[in-house]
Amino acid sequence: MQDLTGDAISRAAFGSNLSEGRRIFRIQSEQVQIANQMTNLYIPGYTYLPTKPNRRIKANAREVEGLLKGIITKKERAMKNGHADGGDLLGLLMQSNIKESKDSGSSKTIMTMDDIIGELKVFYFAGAETTSVLLTWTMIVLSMHPEWQDRARDEVLRVFGKKQPDIDGTNHLKVVTMVLYEVLRLYPPITLLDRQTYKEIELGGVSLAPMGEISYVLLFLREADQTMDEEVEQLRQALQALMAMVTESAARIRNLAVEAFSPLTLPEIQSMNLALLNIEEVATEEMDSERVHFGRRLSITAPRRRGRISHFLLQLSTDPPSKPSLPAAMAIGAMLQQWSLLCFLGALVALWWAWRVLESTWIVPRRLGRALQSQGLPGTAYRFPFGDLKEFSRLAAAARAKPMPLSHDITPRVNRLCYNTIKEHGKIAVIWLGPTPRVIVNDPKLVREILANKFGHLQKRKHNGLVRRLSNGLVSHEGEKWAAHRKIINPAFHLEKLKKMLPAFAACANDLITRWVGYVESDGAKEIDVWPEFQNLTGDVISRSAFGSSFSEGRRIFQLQSEQVQTIVKMMNTLYLPGFRFLPTQLNRKIKANAREVEALLRGIVSKRERAMKEGRANNDDLLGLLMESNIAETKQAGTSKLIITMEDIIGELKLFYFAGMDTTAVLLTWTMVVLSLHPEWQDSAREEVLRVFGKNQPDLDGIHQLKIVTMILYEVLRLYPPVVQLDRQTYKEMELGGVTYPPGVILSLPIVFIHHDKDVWGEDADEFRPERFADGISRASKDSPAFFPFGWGPRICVGQNFALVEAKMALSSILQHFSFRLSPSYTHAPFPVSTLQPEHGAQIVLNKL
C-alpha cells in the first residue's frame, strides 16, 4: 500500500517522470522513519552535529531536492517550448502560480522554486503514508469482518462490474464510504494533533500562558559510580516531578519548582560526584532573567531568548569532587605519557602512509614505464602523479560539450584520449590514467589471447574496497574461488532454467506495455524518455527473476545499486590514494551507507528463503532458489559439510546480478530503440518478423529462438553501441604478448568499442548500421574472426548473456507488437560511458500506438 500510494502521488504529481517520483517517495519514507527515531530526545543545535541520522537526513534531503529541481526545470523548459502537458499536480501548480503572479501584477512568481519543492515534499509526507495506512487498516478490518467485505464487494460489482472504476461510480459507493469512515474513526492515520500557545488564551476556564512543550531533559553525569545511584535516582525523580508541573501552567513554575527541590538537602547534593546537571525548558516571560538559588550549589536561571521564549536552566556548580584525586604532578605525567605514545603511533601511521603513496605514485610507475619504453612500446610518458588523467578529463569534457551528429561514428566522443592515442601511436600504445600504466590493445587476435588467459598470468583489475562493495561477486573473484562459484552459478542461467523465469520476463514486459499504452491513449502519440523506462524494466526483471515474490524489496535494491554505480564511477575517474576509502568524505559515507542498506535487504531475503527451504515451502524457480539448490548439490558432491557459497557470498552474487545485468540490458534496449528509429526500414522488417512468429500473442521461448532479424539487429546494436565499452586485465606475473614482455602490475585495456568500429576488421562500412553482416552468424561477420566481444570472451564470458538476450527479445517483440516509434526532435545523440555506454541526455522517442 505504501508503494501504491507513493506511486499514485508520483504519477499524479509528475505524470511521465514517474521513475524519479518513485525514488523520491522511497527517500521521503526513509526520512519519516529517521525523523520518528529522532523525536524522543532533541537537543538544540543537535541538527548541526555530524551524527549518522543527521548526515543521512541531509544527504536524503539534498537528493530529493536535486531530483525535484531536475523535474521542475524540465517542466519549465517544456512549458516554455509549449510541449508540456499540464495535467499533473506539478503542471497545475506551476500554471496556477504563473496565473496568480500575473494577476497580482508582480514580475516575480509568488512561489519560488524552493517553495514549489517544499510543497511537493509535503505532498509525499501528507499523501503517501496517510492513505496507505488507511488502506492497510481497511484490509485488516475487512478481513476481520467478512460480512462487510462481502457487502462492499457486492456494491463495487454492482456499480462497476469488472470494469476499471471511474470517478462517477466512486461517488455512488455508499457501503465503501461507510466502511472507510468507520476505519478512519477506529484507526485514524493521524492519532494526535498538536498546537502551541503563542499568546495567553483562555480555554475551558483555564488560562494558558504562552508556552512551548518540554524540549528536552539532559542529565549530564560525569565520573558517576554505583554509590551515587540512589542520589542520582532521587534527583531524577525530582526532575520528573518538575517536568510534570512545568507542563501544567507556566505561571506556577517558580513555586512548584521550589517545592520539588526543597527536599533535596545540600549535603545530599554535595555527596554526588555529579559535575553538571542541566535542564533546559521553554518557559515564560515571567521567568525572564531570573535566578533562584537552592542552598549553595544549586541554582535555576531563566535567561531571555528572542524576547518571547526563554530557557530555564537548572545547574549544579562544579566544585572539586569529594573523591580523593591524583596529585596534580602525577596526573600531568600520566597524561604526557599517553600523549607521547599517541604521537608516536600517529607518526608511524603517517610515515607508513607517506611511503605507500610515494611507492605507488613514483617508484613503481617509473620502474614500469622504463620496462615498457625499453621495448619500444609507443605512447605517453608518466607524469607524477596524474599521468594523462587531467588530459583525459579535459578531452572528455570537450567531447561532451559538443553535440554530435546523428551518426554511429561514436568512438571520438566515447573516449577521446584513446581515440587520439590510437591515431597518433597505433593499435598498441601506453597511456597513464594515474600512476598505473595502461596498454591499449586494439587487436582482436591479442584480445582473444588475453581473454583466454591460458597460463593464468592475468587477473581482473584489483579495485579498492569501496568499488568491491558494489559487486563483490563472480566478476571480481579469481582462481579457485571463481571456478567454484562459476560452476554453481552457471546452471542457474541455462536455457531450460530461463524457461522458468520467462513468466517473470513477460510480467515485466506487460507492465511496461500497459504503462506506455496508458501514456499514448491520453495523447494519441507520446514522447517518452525510454532510458529510465528500460532501467526500471531491467531492474524489475532482475528483481522478479532473482526473488520471485519478494519483488518489491528488489526495487529498492536496484535503485540503490544504480546510485552506487554513479557514485563509484565518479570516484574511479579521479586519482585514488591508498587509504582514501577510510576517510569520512561525503562520497565514501554515501557508498558505505548504501552498501549497508543493500546488504541488509538481501540478507533479509536470503534468510527468509533459507527458512522457507527448511520448512519445505520454497518455490525455487527463481535465480536465488536455483543458486541455493545448486550450492547445496555441489557441496554434497564435494563431500563437505559447510556450504561452498556462504551467505555473504550469495549476497555478493546477488548484488552483482543487479550491477552486471541491469544497466547493460537497459542500454542495449535503449540504443536499439534509437537505432530502429533512425532506420525505419529495419524497424518494419523486425515488426513483420515478430508479427509473423507471435501475431499479437505473448512471446514465448520457442518463438524467441526463431527470431533471426531481431537477433541480427541486436547484434549490430551491440557491435556499434557495446554496453561495456572496454575490458581491463592486469598482469600478475611477467608475461609475453605480441612480442612484448609485460612486467606484473600493467593494465591491459581492451577497447571493445574501438575494435567494434575498426575499419580494418569490419570493412569501410564499420560505422554504419548493417545488421545483414550477421546473417551468417557472428564468426562470419568480420574479417578477423571473431572480433565481436560485447559479452567478453573465454572462460570469463558473461554468464548472463542468454538471460540478457532473451529479456531484450521479449521486451523488443512486445514493443514492436504494440507501437511504431521515431526519434523526438528533442533527442540529442550523446553516447557517453558511465559504467555502461549511456545516452547522456536521455533517449526521447515518440511512440504511436498500432
Q: Which residue has the CB atom at the shortest distance from ligand HEM?
A: 800
> Nearest to residue 309, comparing CAs of 279, 280, 269, 268?
280
Annotated binding-site ranges: 798
814 neighbors 513 (Cβ within 8 angstroms): yes
Smaller CB separation from ligand HEM, 463 or 590: 463
| Dihedral angle over CA of 380, 383, 385, 386, nearest 10 | -40
Q: Which residues bind ligand HEM (CB under 6 A)?
A: 474-475, 486, 542, 656-657, 660-661, 664-665, 668, 723-724, 727, 790-792, 796, 798-800, 803-804
**Residue corresponding to grid cell 610518458:** 381
Smaller CB separation from ligand HEM, 121 or 809: 809
The answer for residues whose C-beta is within 8 angstroms of residue 813's C-beta and 6 or more apart is 690, 693, 694, 699, 703, 704, 707, 710
> Nearest to residue 542, comparing CAs of 560, 563, 564, 558?
558
Q: Kindly state the smallest distance separating residue 718's Cβ from ligand HEM, in Å.
A: 7
CA distance 574 to 562: 20
Q: What does the H/E/C string look like for 38-80?
A: HCCCCCCCHHHCCCHHHHHHHHHHHHHHHHHHHHHHHHHHHHH
**Phi, then psi, of 769 in degrees rounded to 5:** -85, 105
> Nearest to residue 493, comparing CAs of 807, 802, 811?
802
Smaller CB separation from ligand HEM, 312 or 534: 534
CA distance 474 to 492: 14
Rounded to 5°, the CA angle 689-661-484 comes to 120
Cα Rg, the chain, nearest whole Å: 33
Q: Kindly state the smallest distance separating residue 665's Cβ from ligand HEM, in Å.
A: 4
CA distance 727 to 307: 66
CA distance 780 to 292: 96
Smaller CB separation from ligand HEM, 417 or 656: 656
18 neighbors 11 (Cβ within 8 angstroms): yes
Query: Any bridge partners for residue 283, and if so which?
Result: 310
Q: Kindly state the smallest distance separating residue 454's Cβ from ligand HEM, in Å.
A: 15
Bridge-based pairing of strands 290-294 and 298-302 is: antiparallel
Q: Kindly state the smallest distance separating residue 800's Cβ from ligand HEM, in Å.
A: 2
Q: Kindly state the smallest distance separating residue 482's Cβ from ligand HEM, in Å.
A: 6
CA distance 611 to 485: 23
Q: Kindly state the smallest distance separating residue 100's Cβ from ligand HEM, in Å.
A: 49
Bridge-based pairing of strands 309-316 and 304-305 is: antiparallel
CA distance 89 to 108: 21
Smaller CB separation from ligand HEM, 388 or 807: 807
Smaller CB separation from ligand HEM, 769 or 793: 793
Smaller CB separation from ligand HEM, 10 or 559: 559
Q: Kindly state the smallest distance separating residue 688's Cβ from ligand HEM, in Å.
A: 24
Smaller CB separation from ligand HEM, 505 or 742: 505
Smaller CB separation from ligand HEM, 316 or 598: 598
CA distance 21 to 590: 21
Q: Kindly state the smallest distance separating residue 672's Cβ from ligand HEM, in Å.
A: 10
214 neighbors 243 (Cβ within 8 angstroms): yes
Bridge-based pairing of strands 458-459 and 727-731 is: antiparallel
Smaller CB separation from ligand HEM, 173 or 656: 656
Q: Kindly state the smallest distance separating residue 447's Cβ from ligand HEM, in Å.
A: 11
Annotated binding-site ranges for heme: 798
**Can you say whether residue 202 is alpha, beta or left, with left for phi > 0 and alpha for psi between -120 and 50 degrees?**
beta
Residue 807 CB-half CA count within 13 A: 31
Smaller CB separation from ligand HEM, 790 or 831: 790
Smaller CB separation from ligand HEM, 386 or 754: 754
Q: What does the H/E/C string look like for 621-640?
A: CCHHHHHHHHHHHHHHHHCC
Q: Kindly state the smallest distance separating residue 439's Cβ from ligand HEM, in Å.
A: 16
Q: Is 271 exposed, middle or buried (0-12, 13-18, 19+ CB in 10 A)?
A: middle
DSSP character for 327? -
Smaller CB separation from ligand HEM, 84 or 686: 686
Q: Kindly state the smallest distance separating residue 508's Cβ from ligand HEM, in Å.
A: 13
**Can you say whether residue 646 is alpha, beta or left, with left for phi > 0 and alpha for psi between -120 and 50 degrees?**
beta
The neighbour count for residue 685, using CB atoms within 10 Å, is 17
Instruction: Identify whether 795 is preceded by a cis peptide bond (ω within 30 of 0).
Output: no
Q: Kindly state the smallest distance separating residue 450's Cβ from ligand HEM, in Å.
A: 10
